Amino acid sequence: MEDIDKIKKKKMEEMQKNASGPSHPIVASDDNFDQLLEEYPLILVDFWAEWCMPCKMFAPTVEELAQEKKGKIAFAKLNVDEARNTALKFNVMSIPTSMLFKNGKLVDKITGAVSKQMLKDFVERYE
């Protein structure tokens, strides 16, 4: 019976944390990437670079969806020039690339500066 209570308590804490999740993209790095995957059950990571014009065009889309999906999905931005190890680990060849992780595992990815509706449809398949 104690185990069930512990599980319930952990689930409640998780739900509360998710409900008050970030309303803006989190800055991801080589140092915190694994921690972010553990912390957020559903997280979309935008792989980008400062010099990439399509990335700059795509940034407001990520910002808007982070606000709209607060509590349901976390959003993170990973600068591939600053976090080379993570970009290499996931074989990022084109940017922007958005990767969706569920329970720490990569479940899907989409490449390019897609429309807000396309990105919304993409993430909602996994909510």
- Distance, in Å, from the CA atom of 80 to the CA atom of 42, rounded to the nearest integer, reads 21
> Which of these, 58, 61, 74, lies nearest to 23 by C-alpha position?
74
Active site residue 79: no
Q: Is 66 helix (H, G, I), strand (E, B) or coil?
A: helix
Residue tagged active-site, from 52, 76, 119, 123: 52
- Distance, in Å, from the CA atom of 120 to the CA atom of 103, rounded to the nearest integer, reads 19
Residue tagged active-site, from 28, 36, 55, 87: 55
Active site residue 55: yes
Residues 63/18, Cβ–Cβ less than 8 Å: no
Give catalytic residue positions. 52, 55
